[in-house]
Structure 1
Amino acid sequence: MRMFTRRGLMAASATLPALSALPARPRAQGAAPTLRIGVLADFSGPYRDTSGPTSVVCARQAVADLGLDTRGIKVEILQADHQNKADVGLGIARRWFDQDGVDAITEVNNSAVALAVANLAQEKDKVVLASGPASAVLTGERCTSNLVHWTYDTWMCANVVGKASVRAGNDSFFFLTADYSFGHQLERDTTAAVQGAGGKVLGGVRFPFPGTADFSSFLVQAQSSRAKVVAMATAGADTVNCMKQAQEFGLTRRQKMLALIAFICDIHAMGLPAAQGLLLNETFYWDLNDRTRAFLGRVRDKTPTNWPNQEHAGTYSAVLHYLKAVADLGPAAARASGRAVVERMKAMPTDDDCFGPGTLRADGRKIHPAHLFEVKRPEESRGPWDYYKLVGTVPAAEAFRPMGEGNCPLVRS
């Protein structure tokens, strides 16, 4: 993990006046407290479409759907760009907690940023609704009593997609890995899943993150490996660029490109001719059932060029459940202790239009089914964003790492 220096944090703080975080406002005597939720995400980098503005829309939709204003509870949604830098994200979170009256931070779609913010939230007794990061250590050895982890993680993605590939006969792997904590964890988890299923790993290469746009040298190494599968331990724009360049190099004619983590916006950016046949998993798809279609109907006009993916749905679901717990606990008590809110969240069953009924475990892991999809051929699509064919569904109890295997201190105690 990156070391955080005083100079680095001061530099991060210097960027904060340009952010949309608002100064704390005095509260009228006797008025109900205003809850503040900060969406800390990528608004300008390679993960902008997988998180960013659409996550803000989904967080606000959760507030609207619950209708807390009718109960006298006010909620404000703030947003800021962590720039995929842990020191920048940590500086924003510190200001939000110390100066701007923020009670919970959501999204945090960078594992290094999420780990740093999780430690700070525990220190300040605030809440992290981690709907965007993928590292499974967040509910493993680095779990805290102030963080919940929604949507997906590296263990889930590795096991759902990696094992399915080996079972289909694609049993030798070469990794293209983003060189930071998310990519490393995803590669490790997938390696374990592949080897456990009887497959083998022939090698891998790590590329600098962020900032890599030319994947040609890495793809040449993948091609030379003669592995049946080139597994992309990437996300967002990196996945899109890598997939497009792989097609240009002809890799897709001889090797199977596997997206360990991919999103519907990635498929939209690639286009069906380039992405057809790609195997991937998401825990949410807008056309999965009547409830997911109803959710899309409420947000589509607010984000017409970037329909929600699993990460956006996770932000909606996490914020909705957090606000239900706040309403149950009472806003004053909720603002006084983030730990108490998380305890109440774990005690309450989850249910929403994105994921249906679910469970929030003692280690902070939200579990729900995971779905394996294949990208449609162009002639199979009925229109914009109709991209997936459902291949299979992994039940919630099997989709995520067993709680006893994560070494979470909350479970051992």
Structure 2
Amino acid sequence: MSGVELIATATFGLEAIVAQEVKDLGYQNVSVENGKVTFTADLSAICRANLWLRTADRVRLKVGEFKATTFDELFEKTKALPWPELIPADANFPVEGKSVKSTLFSVSDCQAIVKKAVVESMKTKYKTQWFEERGPVYKIEIALLKDIATLTIDTTGPGLHKRGYRRLAGQAPIKETLAAALVLLSRWHPDTALLDPFCGSGTIPIEAALIGQNIAPGMNREFVSEKWPSIPKELWRQARKETHDLANYDQPLEIRGTDVDNEAVKIARNNAMEAGVDEFIHFQRMSFTEISSKKKYGKIICNPPYGERLSELREIEKMYKEMGRVFSKFDTWSFYILSSHPKFESLFGKPASKKRKLYNGDIKVDYYQYFGPRPPKKRDGGLIKENGYALTT
């Protein structure tokens, strides 16, 4: 295994952000489809993509893709793929599946057929009739979409949102991958003040701190493919060394998270400590109506309560109106607010500069973006500084 084709899976609405992250890692042969970003690279990309991708759900190794409308066709075409080149004789290779708008709609039957085909393929190579499957895990997925079968092997293990720092969580926590996406979409820079007045367990401020100091989100966790014999240990060692070399621990940050729930604030502080960024974030128990800042420019990024239950809706609508009043005091700041309410803009009292459709779990939401005035360019010797970046004059 040298050159590989990888698929970074993504939540609906985040595909373009994942694609940009892949390109930022230096991989240019990138294609984007609903729910996935496909790219080709060398073997080290399995290590680097898992360590660095902030907004992808997981990284899959693509084994093959073909049309299949019968079980015989699925079996024969699966068997013809180079499984023995990828999977060792002692591997544990479970099969999972999904089928959307396909003739072969029985997922359990498709899984069984793929499993049998892989076993038959490996029998020929390893000259055995039985595989004990006690070794490293190679989880295979058969994904059928409109009769096109895509066979992949998961390289990640637990999803990429499992950073390892959120051992405690408040009610309805936002996924780390989505929180990172909200920060990236805001185009926040590390020298800009950031405030989350509904911080809950602290996920948005923590993800911002990791971004601000260029800390790889997967730095402190393990991945299932680290145990694959086909990926030299040296590649993982080099990839992990890169995460340490590129981290900018000296970057000062001004990030605040507030919440009316004292227990949530305690959890947020603990999570930030687990992530190693607690000294860069100030968490405080406070109602959003009390927020203020001495900073003239900054960004509010938040995921306030949605009020999915009908009984809560009136209170939530009242809160959105109050948010509009409170946030208006930050007249030179930008606001980025996630909400599922279809009339959020009218309740907030102002149309958004831009909005983007996303999903928070199974909830369809919009990301309302209110752009404030751009900070003036700062002169520093012979350079003009804008948002902390030096521009030649």
When normalised by structure 2's length, the TM-score is 0.29
Q: Greater RCO between the two (CA within 8 Å, min separation 6)?
A: 1
Q: Greater helix percent: which structure?
A: 1
Between structures 1 and 2, the one with greater strand share: 2
Q: Specify the structure having the higher radius of gyration (Cα).
A: 2
